[in-house]
Amino acid sequence: MISRRHLLGASALSTLPLGAAWGQGFPSKQVHLVVPFAAGGTGDVLCRNLQEPLQRLLGQPIVVENRLGAGGTVGTQYVKNAAPDGHTLLQVGNSTVTTALMRKNAGYDPIKDFASVALVATTPMVLLTNPVIPANNVAELIAYAKARPRGLEYASAGRGSLGHLTNELFNQMAGLEMVYVPYQGSSQATNAALTGEVKMVITTPSDAINGLVATGRLKMLGVTSPQRSPLLPNIPAIAETLPGFNVLAWFGLAAPAGTPADVLARLNGAVNQAVSEPALQTKLAGLGMTPKPSPAKAFADMWANDQTIWTKVMQQANLQPE
């Protein structure tokens, strides 16, 4: 289990230049970035964009390895059980936390079994509705849904997904009762809103979604970030109607618990330097992401905060682990 002192030490060291005398001898061989989902997903694309700058900065080959299965738990358990030497890292996101909360036997504890390496990027989610709903902003949507208890269906990429829990948080803060319809993946959930099988979905943005909104086939009523996103400046933040509403999809890297502090610091410094390079920032912006170089401690706090938020949402929604 990684201690607070361990995290703070790694965070402080990460501010040193890469040439400093920490992490000497690391890496001594190729570094594996394990993605617990299929190739082509957001986390996979993110890791493949990190390959070249990390290889250059660390001086060893970077191998992206997809180990999918069981909602991401197969790859996650693999890294949990890997040698804690920094040569096997896990691509992590909100689902690393939510899956452990929603499953009785996820096989890992996101806080105890992993050491924070670095946050790479964040992105807000977007609230989409089918045009049949006569609401043109979040306030009108809330009024429409309140007048029709359990008369509005919403989709997500699956039970316990970030979209599911974010919509539950929206319901709780707005005082709404909606009907949840789970789907297998975000594309299916978005398509359900598009065809009218459901009337609403909260999901991550994409060029494809922007195109559907531009042609009037979907309405985009809000973003889940605390302020408007610079990538979608004309879309209001949900927080403008529901003060305090704040959900960001985040993506980063973690190592097995017990990885030495100097190794974590070297990795954090390398990732932060890579994310600060203009070429990678341009690629991340193209994916709808905001680059977020930061200390390891700040990233660890984000994990813990997510766990607290979603535990409360689950309890209020009476969602039990399965």
- Taking Cα atoms as reference points, which of 135, 34, 138 lies closest to residue 79? 34
Residues 101, 321 contacting (CB under 8 angstroms): yes
Residue 92 in 3-state DSSP? strand
Predicted pLDDT of residue 261: 97
Coil, helix or strand at residue 69: coil
CA dihedral angle for residue 207, residue 128, residue 196, residue 156, rounded to 10 degrees: 90
**pLDDT band per the 50, 70, 90 thresholds, residue 231:** confident
Is domain 4-122+249-317 annotated with CATH 3.90.1200.10? Answer: no
126-240 CATH choice from 3.40.190.10, 3.40.640.10, 3.40.50.150, 3.30.499.10:
3.40.190.10
Outline which parts of the chain fall under CATH 3.40.190.150. 4-122+249-317
- In this predicted structure, the answer to whether residue 241 has a pLDDT above a threshold of 70 is yes
Q: 34-64 pLDDT, tens per residue?
A: 999 888 888 888 999 999 999 999 999 999 9
What totals of helices (H) and strands (E) does the chain contain, helices first? 11, 11
- Give every CB contact of residue 257 below 8 A, 6+ residues apart in sequence: 1, 2, 80, 84, 112, 113, 114, 115
- Mark 4-16 as b/e (b = at least 16 C-beta within 10 Å): eebbebbbebbee
Q: Where in the chain is the domain with CATH 3.40.190.10?
A: 126-240
**Res 24: pLDDT:** 66
